Amino acid sequence: MLALDGDSTMIQQTVARLLPLTPAERFWIITNSDLRDGIARQLPKINKKQIIAEPAARNTAPAIGLAAFILERLDPIAVLGLFPSDHVIAKEKEFRRVVQQAVKLAAAGENMVVMGIEPHRPETGYGYIEAGIRSQGEFLHVRRFTEKPNAEKAEEFAAAGNYYWNSGMFIWGARTLANAVREHMPDTAPHLQKIADAYGTRAFEKTFARFYPKCENISVDYAILEPRSAKGERASNLFCIPANYGWNDLGSWAALYEHRARDGENVLYAAAGFALNATGNYVHSPKKFVAAVGVDDLVVVETDDALLITTREHSQDVGKIVKYLDEKKLNKLT
């Protein structure tokens, strides 16, 4: 919900780049209760009933699985795209062309399509897709998915030529995904079915609050894609479409720094500021003057109620702070 790359917020950019492909009434957003009202204000064209707030955090598999179960009821032949809201896309026309190709393949059978990004460095923060033989024009069969590798493996993958970064963007039929959840998440599927059956009724919120916390807390990569790929590249119906549309994932402050900086320079997003004998720092303090003196590779982020200080190397660990606050039930940072 922050404007990290231009005047529009990340979720506004995500919706705007997809609107030429489908009308606003076909957008669904899975979020949490803290963000729901803010998202509704930022995206007034989206039906508020289709901005769904999870009663408990359960990672991407239950979230996208719930969307699939609901859409399967409403439109059994619907094709569903999963688009995280922390991505930057430089070449939007090419992006939409690739999405349209993926939709055609997903609609043609029980096919699952993942958008792969050609790696230009040995990145340990992304999952990887090992591609097999070429099929269906631009598409490659998927051999396997590998979640965030260590540095040695990442170098091996980047040099191999048939590995792609897993962008986290997927296209599949709603029924295809719902059936995959039934197959690979048999304990979670009945809970999602009950919630989907209650959608549109007065019992929805109560049913959602009762059954969603019982769902497995797991990503769609681990829950669906990895066991699916184990069936073999010809039997899994998993396809990768390599894409080159200027993709970047701003899922961490280090990634945002890399997107904005050049050759080790500092990025100071502040009312005013300067750096002295300092390199590689990212500072986000839009209302204050900032001076960075004699420090390197820091991330400093100020919000209304908190101050984050870390290094670019450890910026991926911010999620551990959120987990700690959750465990301690610290809803107010005062």
pLDDT, tens digit, 9 for 90 and up, residues 106-143: 999 999 999 999 888 888 878 899 998 777 678 999 99
- The CATH number of residue 29's host domain is 3.90.550.10
pLDDT band of residue 277 (cuts 50, 70, 90) is: very high
317 three-state secondary structure = helix
Look at residues 192, 224, 249 and tell me which one is the last residue of a structural domain: 249
Residue 313 is predicted with a pLDDT of 83
Is 91 inside any structural domain? yes
Q: Are residues 232 and 153 in the same domain?
A: yes
**Where in the sequence is the domain holding 196, given as residue range(s)?**
10-249
Q: Give the lowest-confidence range in 131-135, 253-257, 330-334.
A: 330-334
Do 174 and 299 lie in one domain? The reply is no
In a domain, residue 332? The reply is no
Please state, in angstroms and rounded to a whole number, the distance separating the CA atoms of residues 7 and 215: 37
Cα distance between residue 80 and residue 274, in whole Å = 46
Domain end among 249, 276, 291: 249
Q: Is 39 within the bounds of a domain?
A: yes
Q: What is the pLDDT of residue 136?
A: 62
Higher pLDDT, 283 or 151: 283
pLDDT at 320: 84
Using only the alpha carbons of the chain, give its radius of gyration.
21
* Beta carbons within 8 Å of 271's beta carbon, 6+ residues apart: 285, 286, 287, 288, 289, 290
In-domain check, residue 2: no
| Domain membership flag for residue 68 | yes
Distance (Å) of CA 292 to CA 267, 314, 318: 10, 19, 22
Residue 289 lies in a domain: yes
The answer to whether residue 188 is domain-embedded is yes
Encode pLDDT of 161-207 as tens digits.
Answer: 899 999 999 999 999 999 999 999 999 999 999 999 999 999 999 99
Q: Are residues 87 and 14 in the same domain?
A: yes
Q: What is the band of 334 on the pLDDT scale with cuts at 50, 70, 90?
A: low
Where does residue 210 rank: exposed (0-12), middle (13-18), buried (19+ CB within 10 A)?
A: middle
259 pLDDT band (50/70/90 cuts)?
confident
Domain count, the chain: 2
- Based on the fold, state whether residues 221 and 296 are members of the same structural domain: no
Dump pLDDT digits (tens) for 224-247. 998 999 998 889 999 999 988 988
Q: Is 164 helix (H, G, I), strand (E, B) or coil?
A: strand
Residue 149 clears pLDDT 80, i.e. is over it:
yes
Per-residue pLDDT of 56-112, as tens digits, reads 999 999 999 999 999 999 998 999 999 999 898 989 999 999 999 999 999 999 999
% of the chain residues with pLDDT over 90: 65
- What is the C-alpha to C-alpha distance for residues 26 and 244, in angstroms, rounded to an integer? 26
327 compared with 186, residue with greater pLDDT: 186
pLDDT score of 298 more than 90:
yes
**63 exposure class (CB count in 10 Å sphere: 0-12, 13-18, 19+):** buried
How does DSSP classify residue 222? I
pLDDT at 42 over 70: yes
Which of 208, 232, 249 is the C-terminal boundary of a domain? 249
Is residue 273's pLDDT more than 80? yes
The span from the CA of 103 to the CA of 119, in Å, is 24
CB 48 within 8 A of CB 40: yes
Tokens of 262: 């050049």
Q: Answer yes or no: is pLDDT of 283 > 90.
A: yes
Residue 5 lies in a domain: no
Pairing of strands 163-173, 79-82: antiparallel
Q: List CB contacts of 268: < 8 A, sequence separation 6 or more.
A: 274, 275, 281, 283, 290, 292
